[in-house]
Structure 1
Amino acid sequence: MSNKSGYMRQIYLEGLISNRSPTFTTSTGSVLESAAREKLSPEAYAYVAGSASSESTSHNNRAALDSWQIVPRMLGGVDVAEFDGSTTLFGGKKYQTPIIVSPIGVQSQLNTDEADLATARAAAELEVPFCLSSAGDRTIEQVSEQVDFTNPVGDEEGGSEAWFQLYWPSDDKLAESIVKRAKAAGYTALVVTLDTWILGWRPRDLDQAYNPFLRGQGLAQLLSDPYFIATYCPDGKLPSKEHDNDAFLQVCATAVSLLNPGISRSWSELRTLRELWGEDRPLLLKGIQSPLDAQRGLEEGVDGIVVSNHGGRQVDGAVGALQALPTIAAMCRQRGKTCIFDSGVRTGADVFKALALGAHAVGIGRPWAWGLALEGQEGVSKVLKGILADFELCAALAGCKSAGEIGRHMLVKRGENL
């Protein structure tokens, strides 16, 4: 157990000693976003910030979170220095914090030098699970070899570990190759994203005709895959961007067509992934919002559901993700399965609300992306430490001695009397 709220005291002391304000410490998304926008190219900023069509789903995510209000309790004998923020996932594995680093692709737009490696290192140091995207700019092997993930598969204590997020390619043999690589490299959980078999209508990107994948970014997993190279590259060799740019871009277009084929997978195919991944490591479905889909997934034997709408980036006019959480979380808990919430989370209070409505853990996305853009690994670390401190203080001040004490009884709907 470690005191996350101590980060607040550290900030004050460092400011006192140095007699200057820190570069940034806040977990307030709008502040970080504004600072990152000034540093990033217009295309990169729009890609990360944008959502589908009118962006109403993104707004609905925030509205759903803001529609719940915390009811603090006093004189509970809480000692913030002893606050226990740990959570248990996958039927018995303990993690030191209740947050997850959600997968975000094309991180080279945000940090050219290290990209996914910077994010993974920050997460590992804080014992926050890191989820590598299929659309990453560093390969499965590079991340596992260059980042110190200390907890092997099967450890009772989790936290400093890597998960792999799969965009399920249309070629079954390619899917098999990628999944086997992740398994061989020691990734402890497979998170299958279901809602991106075709990209949503994203005006911010369309207005600039900007698709980073067609330029070779975000394709490290495919462009390093032996099966992909042997099957889809001329003469079984990956073309050099420097010496044959046209051939390279054609290969990139092929890779994109495999990741976003415009044809959805079906429930009957899920068993194949389980067989490839094995029964000994958790398999989760990400992008679930309908309780009917959650029920079907649980019936198919998955280990967890990630309640998410991709941060509003896919379906316009959809429900705020938090609206789907209570019902799905209850279904997961009744079956002894894990429920993770993702989409719209910006503050410690957001984490608190999601836990109160039944989530076992909460995914953080865009906030750390802005931190990555501003200060690389250190920026990601500051954002994660800020959210953890904010959450710990919020929970303790609300009367909780641990994350496990947070429950639905501590929330009220906006406008309702107590």
Structure 2
Amino acid sequence: MSNDEEVLFDLDQYEEKAKEMIEDNFIRRYIFEGADFDQGIRRNREALKDILLYPRVCRGLAKKRDLSTKILGHEISLPIGFSPTMCRSWIQHDGELAAAEVAIEMNFPFCLSFVAETPLERVAKCYKRTPNCVKFFGVSLYDEESLREVVDRAEKCNYHGLVVTVDHPCHGNRRFDKEDHEEYKQFSNITMPNLPKKMQEEFKDENASYDQSPPETFEDLAMLKKMTKLPVIAKGILRPEDALACVKAGIDAVWVSNHGGRQLGDCPATVELLQDIAPVLKGSGVELYIDGGFRHGADVLKALAIGANCVFVGRPVLSGLAVNGKDGIEESMKLMRKELDIAMALCGCNSISDIDSSVLWSK
């Protein structure tokens, strides 16, 4: 930012500024509102605030902490990644590419949504010179023929994993879909190049919905795992028994997510459910990811202390993009990185491997 521009100190301020700068009412509501009365969004944030850290002193800290870690065998600069979101290109025409470029420059894992408007092949070109930077592609559990189609495309483009969204049998009860229905129609001409070909036309139908897709089962997840050489990540897991079913299906990582509070408003916060799921996955070899309400580096430390391997963010990327384009994403992520570094130092952690439940305070 130049000296004449407003200085933003954290991701909460980025979000408030983004709400001011996004002029289109439907896009603003689509991004920042959730199911029912937004109680799920609020609960995600409030639950993180309720968890307190327990500072430690005299731990012989290095002058510089090591924030790097690995997911699925690939090194990343810190345990923060970009969640799949539909509307980066709604904010900025090349928003998907801008987010990917920041992820590459900062060595963050990046996930492309199956309903993004930018083809997965175009995003993959950004990674040509940095093939080891982690990029995931999001899929849904289509019929076997359609699934094979998108899996082949992802494999040919050397994506590092497939993120399967399993918590979307239908749309959540979202007020803006109904109240701004006429505004929603303006998006009926958007393209969805990452969907299977036979589904691309169906998506344009305003009466179509994901409940028209085949029923999803854990057997479908197992089928996908057998179909591909890529790691498979199940996104939208909220119950310990479902996490264990993922292990049985051969899934490589479980992603705790309540869809950013957009599906079921009366749902516990993801960080609360992480505390139930982490123990049952311990020792399984299955990695554990989470999203939902993370805005500060201290939030990330809390999730890692509970047992997560990586934290993913969605709305913060969109906020940064809305405020200052690609630079806004980078600026906001640098703030989050600095906050994580400070929180680790004050809790006596030199590296990610030092983080465990002892950094959490409990009565």
Which band: TM-score by shorter chain? over 0.9
Partner of 2:87: 106
On the 8 A contact 1:87/1:98 being kept in 2, the answer is yes
The verdict on how the C-alpha distance between 1:22 and 1:391 changes in structure 2, with shifts beyond 3 A counting, is: farther
The answer for the alignment partner of 2:268 in structure 1 is 319
Is 1:162–2:135 an aligned residue pair? yes
The one-letter amino acid paired with 2:87 is V
**28, 33, 36: which one pairs with 2:18?**
36
Cα gap change, 1:74 to 1:306, in 2 (>3 Å)? same
Structure 1 gaps, min length 5: 1-10, 12-17, 153-159, 234-249
1:11-410 aligned within 5 A: 20=3, 22-29=5-12, 31-40=13-22, 41-81=24-64, 83-90=65-72, 92-112=73-93, 114-148=94-128, 150-152=130-132, 160-169=133-142, 171-209=143-181, 210-211=183-184, 215-217=188-190, 219-222=192-195, 228=197, 231=198, 252-254=203-205, 257=208, 259-261=210-212, 264-278=215-229, 281-410=230-359
Matches of 2:67 and 2:7 in 1, distance apart? 24
Mapped contact 2:11–2:332 kept (Cα < 8 A): no
| 1:93-133 superposed Cα distances (whole Å, 9 cap, x missing partner) | 43221111111112221112x02111101111100011000
Distance, in Å, in 1 between the alignment partners of 2:207 and 2:76 is 35
| Native 8 Å contact 2:34 2:261 kept in 1 | yes
Residues 306 and 339, structure 1, Cα contact 8 Å, conserved in 2: yes
Per the normalisation by structure 1, the TM-score is 0.81
Residue aligning to 1:238: none
Change (3 A) 1:215 1:125: same
CA deviation profile, 1:359-399 (whole Å, cap 9, x unmatched): 01111111111111122211111111111111111111221
Does the Cα contact within 8 Å between 2:26 and 2:180 map onto a contact in 1?
Answer: yes
Change (3 A) 1:202 1:149: farther
Aligned-partner residue type, residue 274 of structure 2: L
Please state whether the residue corresponding to 1:305 is helix, strand or coil. Answer: strand
Amino acid paired to 2:86 = G
Q: Deviations over 1:226-279 (max 9, x none)?
A: xx1xx578xxxxxxxxxxxxxxxx65435984755265311222222112222x
Amino acid of the structure 2 residue aligned with 1:271: A
Instruction: Report the equivalent of 1:8.
Output: none
Give how far 1:139 is off.
Answer: 0.5
Structure 1 distance, partners of 2:129, 2:268, is 36
Deviations 1:270-316 (A, max 9, x none): 222112222xx311100001001001111111111001111111012
C-alpha distance in 1 between matches for 2:171 and 2:140: 12
3-state SS of paired residue (1:334)? coil
* TM-score, length-scaled by structure 2: 0.92
Shift of 1:181: 0.5
CA distance in 1, matches of 2:307, 2:208: 37
* SS of corresponding position for 2:212: coil
| 1:119-157 CA-partner distances (Å, limit 9, x unpaired) | 1011111000110001111001010013446134xxxxx
Determine helix, strand or coil for the equivalent of 1:69: coil
Q: Root-mean-square deviation (CA), in Å? A: 2.3
Could you list the per-position Cα deviations for residues 303-333 of structure 1 after superposition, in whole angstroms to 9, with x for gaps in the alignment? 1100111111101200111111123222323
Q: Compute the displacement of 1:353 (Å).
A: 0.4
Larger Rg: 1
Cα 1:312–1:80 change in 2 (3 A) is farther
Q: 1:105 to 1:387 in 2, by over 3 A?
A: same
Cα 1:24–1:149, aligned 2, differ >3 Å: closer, same or farther? farther
| 3-state SS of paired residue (1:220) | coil
1:401 aligned counterpart, secondary structure: coil
Unaligned runs of 5+ in 2: none
Q: 1:54 to 1:182 in 2, by over 3 A?
A: same
* Farther off after superposition, 363-372 or 205-214: 205-214
Do the aligned partners of 1:48 and 1:366 also contact (CA within 8 Å) in 2? yes
Structure 1 residues 252 and 327: CA distance shift in structure 2, 3 A: closer
Paired residue secondary structure (1:136): coil
| Offset of residue 214 of structure 1 | 5.2
Counterparts in 2 of 1:162 and 1:212: CA distance versus 1, 3 Å: farther
Q: How high is the sequence identity, in percent, across the aligned residues?
A: 29
Give the Cα–Cα distance (whole angstroms) in 2 for the partners of residues 256 and 282 of structure 1: 34
Change (3 A) 1:103 1:64: same
